[in-house]
Amino acid sequence: MQITFLGTSSGVPTRSRNVSSLALRLPQRSEIWLFDCGEGTQHQIMRSDLRVSQIRRIFITHMHGDHIYGLMGLLASCGLAGHPEQIDIYGPPKLEEYIKACCRYSQTNFHYPVKIHTVDSGLVFKDDSFTVHCNALTHRVPAFGYRVTESDRPGTFNVKKAEAMGIPSGPIYGKLKRGEWVTLDDGRRINGAELCGPTQIGRAVVYCTDTIFCDNAVELAKDADVLIHEATFAHQDAELAYQRLHSTSTMAAQVALMADVKQLIMTHFSPRYAPGNPKQPHDLLTEAQAIFPNTIMAYDFFNHEIVRS
């Protein structure tokens, strides 16, 4: 699992930061899951090593323009490029209405399947390898944070031990690797779990933006490997954060601390902290690290690998 940040500014783009979007790469299934799609996202993808053809799911946090204005352009381009796979889009109420209106007034037709799912707090998606949950955040419009959790996997299969026990190779090994019980031709029953190392705990990544500090974000992020949390404002501008229902650097750090996550990555920075202004991005990083030391700051095209514990 690898995260690529495609836009890390809030509200409007700057010379060095585009508006919100990030990609979660799932190499084991050659898929990309996109989270938010601000204006210019498809241009950012073209400047990266991501492939539009691998986009399989898109998760939208809320309906503000800096998170959705790039969606129709991206979907239209996928159609022109002959995207062969269905794209599933998840988001708050009004998302489907917005997409249908854009299609109607621009006379855009998707020549590939597009399915839109309206989300509510709880389970959003589940298959054998991943689950996605969302939780309502606190913003001026309905907004949701998302948590992607990888399924646990059996530990490494001990082939030498299996051979020493006289277990024939073949399909039986596949069952034993999954930790299943197998009955051999000689009548012996073998517990696959005893031939595997410790269970590999699935990784979890959480994405929370736009929101003021809230308990739902802490609940969603509990024990996650990586929490990606907005940090629109510096601590000194907390009053603005409360007025606009955004987070400060210290609020993001408090969520990470209370949720006991392993890593905090801050994003969604106000342009007021762009180079040349009195307060700089590294100041926000210093504020957050004073509360949660394992904090880093995202920038456009930053890649972060989520490793297994």
- Secondary-structure breakdown of the chain: helix, strand, coil percentages, each rounded to the nearest 5: 30, 30, 40
Q: Is 277 helix (H, G, I), strand (E, B) or coil?
A: coil
CB 241 within 8 A of CB 228: no
Going by the DSSP 8-state scheme, the letter that residue 224 receives in this structure is -
Q: Is 66 a catalytic residue?
A: yes
The active-site residue, picked from 36, 66, 237, 300, is: 66
Q: Where in the chain is the domain with CATH 3.60.15.10?
A: 2-153+200-305
Domain at 2-153+200-305, CATH from 3.60.15.10, 1.10.490.10, 3.40.50.720, 3.20.20.70: 3.60.15.10
pTM: 0.90
H helix and E strand count, the chain: 10, 16
Distance CA 61, CA 145 (A): 6
CA-CA distance, 188 to 190, in Å (whole number)? 6
Q: Model confidence over 126-164: pLDDT tens digits? A: 999 999 999 999 999 999 999 999 998 878 889 999 999
Per residue of the chain (309 residues), give pLDDT as tens: 999 999 999 999 999 999 999 999 998 889 999 999 999 999 999 999 999 999 999 999 999 999 999 999 999 998 887 777 899 999 999 999 999 999 999 999 888 999 999 999 999 999 999 999 999 999 999 999 999 999 988 788 899 999 999 998 888 998 898 888 999 989 999 999 889 888 888 999 999 999 999 999 999 999 999 999 999 999 999 999 999 999 999 999 999 999 999 999 999 999 999 878 888 889 999 999 999 999 999 999 999 999 876
